[in-house]
């Protein structure tokens, strides 16, 4: 039974991954003969393409914000809702809603909030007639504006994942912690959190994956233009855009693959070490 998933894995994951690595050393465009160009594509991205290093930096910032803000926020929501607040189902739905909205709608919602042209935020700041802060266009701040959108969505996602984990925690554990005089924070920190280790690992993995493949929000904002360059958006622009620079896009893909390997390897090493211990 292992054979089928293995074949699927080889054909649909490792096959394309290897092909990407091979293509990254060519000038493939989908038309015309393909030539080997050595490491030229890598040279171009590191030395010529003005979007590449900003993209790497933005991906790192994205990951940082997700780990430090979005994910803890989602966990906080989950813990609060798990206490059985009145109307918790309503809060749950509201917080989870952004995860379910279509991208087109999300784009419109935030354009209306952020635009300098009588947007909600600029109107509140007293610039309803224009001349306010260019949240989505100014490359020194638009990443942060989009990260607010991303957090708005990621927190809801993490909340749902974590909430399902919290529901599974044995109530007796919490009760005995309370009997021992632990306060809310202590109960969470020393009892609930360690018990939820498997869920935590899932959430960490989800967070890392979501940061690396972050793409849709910047794409609907300015197609990954200035201030919002991300590696995944660059790959999309190069490969699926009208240009079809498949060779160059593949080089970007390989870079993303290498970056993705870091957390994956770290995760696997930790897993194996644990298995050895047990």
Binding site for other proteins (CB under 8 A): 27, 29-32, 40, 44, 48-51, 102-105, 107-108, 111, 114-117, 130-139, 142, 216, 219-226, 229, 234, 237-238, 240-245
201-208 long-range contacts (CB < 8 A, ≥24 apart) are: 201/267, 202/161, 203/71, 203/75, 203/158, 203/161, 203/162, 204/71, 205/263, 205/267, 206/157, 206/158, 206/161, 207/63, 207/66, 207/67, 207/70, 207/71, 207/154, 207/158, 208/63, 208/263
Q: How far is the CB of 274 from other proteins (least distance, A)?
A: 38
In angstroms, what is the minimal distance from the CB of 211 to other proteins? 19
Q: Report d(CA 35, CA 42) in Å as an integer.
A: 15
What span, in angstroms and rounded, lies between the C-alpha atoms of 232 and 66?
17
Residue in 143, 140, 135, 136 with CA at minimum distance from that of residue 230: 143
Nearer to other proteins, 74 or 224 (CB): 224
**Distance from chain centroid for Cα 270:** 22
| Cβ proximity to other proteins, 1 vs 48, nearer residue | 48
In angstroms, give the least distance from the CB of 243 to other proteins: 3
Our CB check for other proteins shows the closer of 138 and 169 to be 138
List C-alpha distances in Å: 10 to 4, 13, 53, 227. Answer: 10, 6, 32, 37
Nearer to other proteins, 76 or 134 (CB): 134
Q: Which is nearer to other proteins, 161 or 255 (CB)?
A: 255
Q: How far is the CB of 177 from other proteins (least distance, A)?
A: 46
> Which residues are 26's β-sheet partners?
36
Closer CB to other proteins, 113 or 199, in the complex? 113
For residue 258, the minimal CB distance to other proteins (Å) is 21
Residue 167 CB, shortest distance to other proteins, in Å, is 33
């Amino acid at each position: 039974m292992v054979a089928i998933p293995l074949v699927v894995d080889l054909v649909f994951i490792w096959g394309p991954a290897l092909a990407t690595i091979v293509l990254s050393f060519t000038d493939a465009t989908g038309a015309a003969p393909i030539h080997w160009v050595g490491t030229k594509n890598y040279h171009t991205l590191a030395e010529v393409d003005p979007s590449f290093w900003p993209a790497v930096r933005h991906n790192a910032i994205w990951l940082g914000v997700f780990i430090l803000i979005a994910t803890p926020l989602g966990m906080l929501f989950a813990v609060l809702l798990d206490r059985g607040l009145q109307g918790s189902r309503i809060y749950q739905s509201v917080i989870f809603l952004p995860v379910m909205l279509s991208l087109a709608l999300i784009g419109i919602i935030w354009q209306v909030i952020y635009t300098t042209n009588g947007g909600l935020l600029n109107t509140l700041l007293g610039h309803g007639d224009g001349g306010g802060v260019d949240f989505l266009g100014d490359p020194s701040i638009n990443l942060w504006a989009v990260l607010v959108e991303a957090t708005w969505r990621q927190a809801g996602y993490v909340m749902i994942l974590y909430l399902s984990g919290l529901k599974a925690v044995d109530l007796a554990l919490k009760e005995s912690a309370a009997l021992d005089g632990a306060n809310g924070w202590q109960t969470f920190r020393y009892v609930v959190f360690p018990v939820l280790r498997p869920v935590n690992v899932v959430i960490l993995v989800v967070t890392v994956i979501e940061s690396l493949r972050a793409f849709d929000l910047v794409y609907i904002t300015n197609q990954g233009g200035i201030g919002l360059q991300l590696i995944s958006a660059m790959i999309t622009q190069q490969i699926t855009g009208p240009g079809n620079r498949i060779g160059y896009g593949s080089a970007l893909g390989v870079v993303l693959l290498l970056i993705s390997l870091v957390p994956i390897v770290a995760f696997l090493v930790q897993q194996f070490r644990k298995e050895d211990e047990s």
